[in-house]
Amino acid sequence: MSKWTYSKAGVDIDKQRKMEENILKLVGSKTKGIGSYTSVFEINGKEVTLHVDGVGTKTILLSMVGREDIAGWDCVFVNANDVACEGFKVLAVVDYLAVEKSDEELARRIGQGLDKALREVGAYLAGGETAIMPDVVRGFDISCTVLGIREAKPSVPEPGDYVVGLASSGPHANGYTLIRRLIREGLLKLEDLMPEVIAPVTNYHNIVLEGMKTGVIKWAAHVTGGAFKKVHERLPTGLGIQYEYFEPPAIFKKIVEAARMDPTEAYRTFNMGIGMVIITKHPDKVLELSKKYAIEARPIGRVIEGPSKIQTPWGEVIIG
């Protein structure tokens, strides 16, 4: 049986980045910070950001189980979590919903999820677009753009800083093309991955902003596309993280073992149970803050000089 990779399933992260680079080469007018979690520009002396992201092919599984409301929630928090890493609070959201056909019940469910997420993050819906495109779309696709304002600034990580991991609820919104392919090939069953496979993206926006504003959190990295490789790339040049062993939840073990994935590929595809990486001088205070927000947290390492090293059930993974 051959090994599966995210690229073999149809998503090549390296080629995706080259596509983005080709676009940026042709655009002369750009803001600061493109390529990080979010960009920065000033309006009347205020630092603000615009950020866009979508839920991806998780929507297919959500439709299969009638939980399209989760897509509404997710499209807010895939963005809100990103901008919080740079110290921005979400003020307003616009959504883009593309559908195969008119479906009022689908719209109602997505609206419920959007409303719940906006209330939790403390933001407004400022508009949106609904497009019915039967010749382009199968099922539905949803994304959001968020407007955020600077409330805090991350600090530069240093060797010796502590690393705390905030738990994820599941794969969140990444790796679903591979997950669905494994299900289609009969290597996994959807029911064996429930409920984590459809679990809503965890809200890290509020805890990260409070932690940064109070000096408890120095730096944060949302574990999304590119997973721990992306976390490493955001660190200052020459620094890495020595991760202690943390046990991946059962869902990720099932996926990795069904796909016969190389551990390096697994940890650059999935969050493996850690949805936000926090760097701090005060790990005990981060753990205390996490209780306020009912998010499971645990110390998972220290900042070091050199590449990042992750202890996994399948051996050590070195990134960088």
pLDDT mean over 289-298: 98
Q: Within 10 A of 254 (CB to CB), how many other CB atoms are there?
A: 20
Proportion of the chain above pLDDT 90, given as a percent: 85
* 265 vs 31, higher pLDDT: 265
* 190 vs 22, higher pLDDT: 190
Query: Mean of the per-residue pLDDT values for the chain?
Result: 93
pLDDT score recorded for residue 9: 62
Task: For the chain, give every domain's residue range.
Answer: 31-150, 162-319
* 306 vs 18, higher pLDDT: 306
Judged against a pLDDT cut of 70, whether residue 24 lies above it is answered with: no
**CATH code given to domain 31-150:** 3.30.1330.10
CB 79 within 8 A of CB 51: yes
CB 243 within 8 A of CB 263: no
pLDDT score recorded for residue 6: 63
Parallel, antiparallel or unpaired: strands 46-54 and 140-150: antiparallel
pLDDT score recorded for residue 276: 98
CB 284 within 8 A of CB 217: no
pLDDT tens readout for residues 236-290: 999 999 999 999 999 999 999 999 999 999 999 999 999 999 999 999 999 999 9
pLDDT tens readout for residues 190-238: 999 999 999 999 999 999 999 999 999 999 999 998 999 999 999 999 9
pLDDT score recorded for residue 15: 75
pLDDT score recorded for residue 14: 73
With tokens 């290597």, the residue in question is 187
pLDDT score recorded for residue 20: 64
Judged against a pLDDT cut of 90, whether residue 319 lies above it is answered with: yes
Judged against a pLDDT cut of 70, whether residue 174 lies above it is answered with: yes
Judged against a pLDDT cut of 90, whether residue 41 lies above it is answered with: no
Proportion of the chain above pLDDT 70, given as a percent: 90
Counting beta carbons within 10 angstroms of the beta carbon of residue 10, is it exposed (0 to 12), middle (13 to 18) or buried (19 or more)?
A: exposed
Q: Which ranges of 98-156 does DSSP label H, i.e. alpha helix?
A: 104-121
Sheet containing 315-319: which strands, arranged edge to edge? 219-222, 274-280, 162-167, 297-305, 239-243, 308-312, 315-319
Judged against a pLDDT cut of 70, whether residue 118 lies above it is answered with: yes
CATH class of the structural domain 162-319: alpha beta
pLDDT score recorded for residue 314: 94
- Window from 5-9, 239-243, 276-280, 297-301 with minimum mean pLDDT: 5-9
Tokens of 311: 């202890």
Judged against a pLDDT cut of 80, whether residue 149 lies above it is answered with: yes
Counting beta carbons within 10 angstroms of the beta carbon of residue 47, is it exposed (0 to 12), middle (13 to 18) or buried (19 or more)?
A: middle
Taking Cα atoms as reference points, which of 32, 46, 48 lies closest to residue 92?
48
